[in-house]
Amino acid sequence: MSAPCLLIIDDEPAIRKLLRAALEGGAGYRVFEADTGESGLAAVATRQPDAVLLDLGLPDLEGFEVLDRLREWSDVPVLMLTVRDDPDEKVAALDSGADDYITKPFHTGELLARLRAVLKRRQTRQQEAQIILGDLEVDFVGHEARLGGDLLNLTPIEYRILAALAKYAGRIVTKSVLIQAVWGENPQNNQDSLRVHLAALRKKLRAGVKAPVILTEPGVGYRLMIPPGTPDQPEA
């Protein structure tokens, strides 16, 4: 099986060189480059990459516009690269269809871990009947979850929160997306209720030795993942 193909869309030659060295030389990916939004969109169509690393600040098109146009015809995973650390922009990127984001300057190890998670999620995780994360099993058919083989005593809302996070395990789920998944198309202001149910769900997950944790991404949303250093941790 050939190595995954990645497309870098970034107008900074130094960043593209750094990324190519880490992804191609260090991790063995096949890498292609584009330095504008228009050329990047064309490259996605012709190269059909397994994932895209997209800079928010491009000379011809804003990264958000590239993402919006891309999502009209492609579900290729997109990891946003940005020097901006504004939570509102991160929320907008995720809500627009980005799979994750990473802020420049970034640590190569973190980038590779995020990328592995993005590529893994492409394997039709949302269509799976069951997801296993460490010693947590989420059964989407039976609408139940088990921890270490034991049935978790979850309320209906707690289960819906866990199921929504598990479908995107490793990825940030924004508050608005999570609230809609739990309370439906016309949710009222349920942010306070969401925090209460999340607190209860976190307590129940702590009983597992290799259970995933729900991380808070301040101002953005939540992420379900196996914490680093967990024994027998599966690769992200």
User: Which domain CATH number covers 164?
Assistant: 1.10.10.10
**Total domains in the fold of the chain:** 2
Domain co-membership, 136 together with 100: no
Has residue 185 got a pLDDT over 70? no
Domain co-membership, 13 together with 103: yes
Residue 208 or residue 175, greater confidence: 175
Has residue 155 got a pLDDT over 70? yes
Q: Can you tell me the mean pLDDT for 90-109?
A: 86
Domain co-membership, 142 together with 112: no
**Can you give the pLDDT at residue 186?**
59
In a domain, 131, yes or no: yes
Domain co-membership, 21 together with 103: yes
Nearest to 172 by CA among 105, 79, 73, 106: 79
Confidence grade of residue 235 (pLDDT, cut at 50, 70, 90): very low
**Can you give the pLDDT at residue 65?**
92
Confidence grade of residue 230 (pLDDT, cut at 50, 70, 90): low
In a domain, 14, yes or no: yes
Q: Do residues 81 and 200 touch, judged by C-beta distance below 8 A?
A: no
Dihedral, CA of residue 65, residue 71, residue 74 and residue 80, to nearest 10: 60
Domain co-membership, 211 together with 130: yes
Domain co-membership, 106 together with 160: no
Q: Rounded to 5 degrees, what are φ and ψ at 94?
A: -65, -40
Per DSSP bridges, beta strands 213-217 and 221-225 are antiparallel
**Can you give the pLDDT at residue 30?**
93
For residue 173, give the amino acid letter.
Answer: V
Could you tell me how far CA 199 lies from the centroid of its own chain? 22
Domain co-membership, 130 together with 110: no
Q: Which residues, at least 6 apart from 31, have a Cβ–Cβ distance to it below 8 Å?
A: 5, 6, 7, 8, 19, 20, 23, 24
pLDDT tens digit sequence for 64-88: 999 988 888 788 899 999 887 788 8
Domain co-membership, 152 together with 200: yes
User: Which of 121, 141, 160 finishes a domain?
Assistant: 121
Confidence grade of residue 126 (pLDDT, cut at 50, 70, 90): very low
In a domain, 236, yes or no: no
Backbone CA torsion sign across 98, 101, 104, 109: negative
User: Which of 98, 121, 144 finishes a domain?
Assistant: 121
Tell me the residue range of the domain where 144 lies: 126-225
User: Which of 75, 97, 121 finishes a domain?
Assistant: 121
CATH number of 49's domain: 3.40.50.2300
Domain co-membership, 10 together with 31: yes
Q: Can you tell me the mean pLDDT for 121-148?
A: 80
In a domain, 100, yes or no: yes
Percent of the chain with pLDDT over 90: 40
How far apart (Å, rounded) are the C-alpha atoms in residues 159 and 163?
6
